[in-house]
Structure 1
């Protein structure tokens, strides 16, 4: 492990040789399950830095993972491996390597899909789950919008230009972000190569995972996978302006799981940034209630 900007940094080599990067915050506590943060499709674990620091300050171990092809994890020569099943197995490999099961999963978008798949594949790995703006039904219009920008945003000359690009692309979904917020988003979205040129913090080939999605493509629901979370606490966070997770889907989730905790974040779309005090405090309170896995005393 090496120390980087506060968290510890480590790499876990998974079965096919890809190195998966994880940032570790806070103390290890065998009495409390760690929190594992899984980012969105074209996002990195750095999205959780504020939340991780908040939870770590409350004594919680937090592990923020870069999925393969994102952040500091290795790119994959085969873009076909950028799929939820492979990425779920990567997460399970990291949890095994770190002896981090059971864990409370905080999953944004794609990361929430991985959480549901993990619950179905290895129920003992999950002590609770926060699903950030994702559910068993994904709205087609939002998915097509994501397809329209992943791997397609121009590389900015600097982070001021990056902030302007992001504001143009996402301003309608996040109308109350400040200039500083957009600049910070740019710093998470693009990283400097040797020589200083800014490049996306993910492999652009990840866009191929959405290549087959069209206006008439059937989107398979994940109700069975969501049902696998029946025995653990679950919180759903929805951006009030989301075009991925509908209020109707949240209501249907509540019918399936009556103890579902629901938080709606005002003035944010897909996906809420999880960095405001109210949201972080709500997540911290939820995590504090996820003390043991099913069957544990």
Structure 2
């Protein structure tokens, strides 16, 4: 299935910014899926999943502002969920559909939760990948320890080595998958070296808040669409007890766990892709 690179303009209090996204599948597909990445990641994490879904879906995978090929905000204090939700609402309007199925990893899952809890939400089915309405402080601190850093790498091999370390929770991936992430997570600097393809300033808003547990159960209880929760068995971001509680209250989600995986399942392996596809195509 063809993949194309597209963009639209989002609007913040500091002006307009470009939001890039990749699109897979036919324009006239009966269903549309939106796949949104984690805090420091980008749209190309979903290439394998999008390709698999593209026989039945049009799949849009955005680079959240400040990541990948999207623009950066002139005022870094505006990096946060109000802006991300507004941009994703603009993307859905751009796609011109009444409803979408949503797949969100970590940050992308929180954006999906926030949108799905709104009245008259366009989200038909929701897949939340290793995130939930309770996030423990310890897991957030681990992320805070690396987000916002701006390391310099001599080559793509060094980028890949770095990603294998900070993203070890992604699980047991093929060498091809790690190389793919390195290629799409790097930006070539003027000096010929490589940096990471995100704005280090995204950390300012992330770190501006007191480091404490996050409680979004009121949001969770407002969701009405069917929900699938994916969890890495050793995740420090989605505790097992939180995942189980998500199956008992609010939308009473279905839960699937993956062994030998932490935060977060990469959605690049056959079993993980199948779990998402089977849930989305149930009806």
TM-score strictly above 0.5? yes
Q: Deviations over 1:253-297 (max 9, x none)?
A: 1110475221112111111100100110111111112x5xxxxxx
| Residues 116 and 228, structure 1, Cα contact 8 Å, conserved in 2 | no
Q: 1:151 aligns with which of 123, 148, 151?
A: 148
Tell me, in whole angstroms, the C-alpha distance in 2 between the residues paired with 1:162 and 1:234: 35
Q: 1:252 aligns with which of 238, 245, 253?
A: 245
Change (3 A) 1:161 1:220: closer
**SS of structure 2 residue aligned to 1:152:** coil
Aligned to 1:37: 35
Tell me, in whole angstroms, the C-alpha distance in 1 between the residues paired with 2:27 and 2:221: 30
1:94-173 matches, within 5 Å, as 94-152=91-149, 154-171=151-168, 173=169
**SS of structure 2 residue aligned to 1:157:** coil
Aligned to 2:259: 266
Q: Deviations over 1:235-270 (max 9, x none)?
A: 000011211001100111111047522111211111
Q: 2:206 aligns with which of 200, 206, 210?
A: 210
| Residues 11 and 19, structure 1, Cα contact 8 Å, conserved in 2 | yes
Change (3 A) 1:282 1:79: same
Change (3 A) 1:163 1:30: closer
What TM-score, normalized to structure 1? 0.87
Change (3 A) 1:226 1:29: farther
Aligned to 2:50: 52
In the alignment, structure 1 residue 13 sits paired with structure 2 residue 9: yes
**SS of structure 2 residue aligned to 1:186:** helix
**SS of structure 1 residue aligned to 2:23:** strand
Tell me, in whole angstroms, the C-alpha distance in 2 between the residues paired with 1:170 and 1:30: 34
| Residues 133 and 237, structure 1, Cα contact 8 Å, conserved in 2 | yes
Structure 1 residue 153 displacement after superposition: 5.5
Tell me, in whole angstroms, the C-alpha distance in 2 between the residues paired with 1:256 and 1:196: 52
| Residues 144 and 213, structure 1, Cα contact 8 Å, conserved in 2 | no
Structure 1 residue 197 displacement after superposition: 2.7
| Residues 175 and 268, structure 1, Cα contact 8 Å, conserved in 2 | yes
Structure 1 residue 138 displacement after superposition: 0.7
Tell me, in whole angstroms, the C-alpha distance in 2 between the residues paired with 1:112 and 1:76: 22
Tell me, in whole angstroms, the C-alpha distance in 1 between the residues paired with 2:192 and 2:278: 41
**SS of structure 2 residue aligned to 1:283:** helix
Structure 1 residue 229 displacement after superposition: 1.9
Aligned to 1:295: none
Tell me, in whole angstroms, the C-alpha distance in 2 between the residues paired with 1:37 and 1:170: 19
What TM-score, normalized to structure 2? 0.91
For structure 1, which segment, 96-105 or 63-72, has the greater mean C-alpha deviation from structure 2 after superposition? 96-105
Change (3 A) 1:98 1:167: closer
Tell me, in whole angstroms, the C-alpha distance in 2 between the residues paired with 1:119 and 1:223: 13
Aligned to 2:219: 225
Tell me, in whole angstroms, the C-alpha distance in 2 between the residues paired with 1:79 and 1:208: 7
For structure 1, which segment, 135-144 or 184-193, has the greater mean C-alpha deviation from structure 2 after superposition? 184-193
Structure 1 residue 158 displacement after superposition: 0.9
